[in-house]
Amino acid sequence: MKRKLTLIVVAAVLILGAAQNAAADIRLDFDIPWLLALGLNTADITGDTSGSIDLSSYHIPLPYVEFAYQFGDGALRGGVGIRTYTILVEFAGWPMGYVELEPIDRLVLRAELGGFAFFLLGIENHFYLDDYTLRVLLPDFQVSFALAPWFRIGAGVLLIVPAGDFNNFGYVTYINARFALTWK
């Protein structure tokens, strides 16, 4: 367990160190997804069934912020960073990486993969990194239309996939508005 974590940290440092020489941008995204259909229980994410909440009946906007180091420019770009949801005074998040493709002017296809570790900041501060969370993947797929270089509208699906335990598979479909700010 400790050996795997050490290898992951070393690999991340090497990748980020090598990326210093590449053309990279700092990117900050503010996304406001409106939840449409959910098949999700908080126990699917944390593995803890005590105090779990069934979220399948909620159809609300659930804003989040992504802070990433972006590589590439033009039609194909990608990045690594963190994604954090804001629920009043609590933040819940995880590390992630993404790839965006713009095959047609203003049409943006985005694939994101996150998970492996989770954190809570706010009223309750906790960092989840154990055998269960190391197996939880959070793929997110979006299709959006860029009304401006910094603003998009679209739709997507976020999946909660505990590797090796597909009985606890969760999903969230949504429509969204995304503000994407980039600095060199």
**Mean pLDDT score of the chain, rounded to an integer?**
82
Give per-residue pLDDT as tens, 123-147.
Answer: 888 887 877 777 788 999 999 999 9
Please report, for residues 51, 101, 108, 161, the alpha-carbon distance to residue 74 in angstroms, rounded to integers and kept in the order given: 45, 9, 11, 31
- pLDDT computed for residue 66 by the predictor: 95
Give per-residue pLDDT as tens, 37-96.
Answer: 777 666 655 566 666 666 667 778 889 999 999 998 889 999 999 999 887 788 889 999
The ranges assigned to domains in the chain are: 24-183
Please give the model's pTM, rounded to 2 decimal places: 0.77
CATH number of 24-183: 2.40.160.20
- pLDDT computed for residue 37 by the predictor: 79
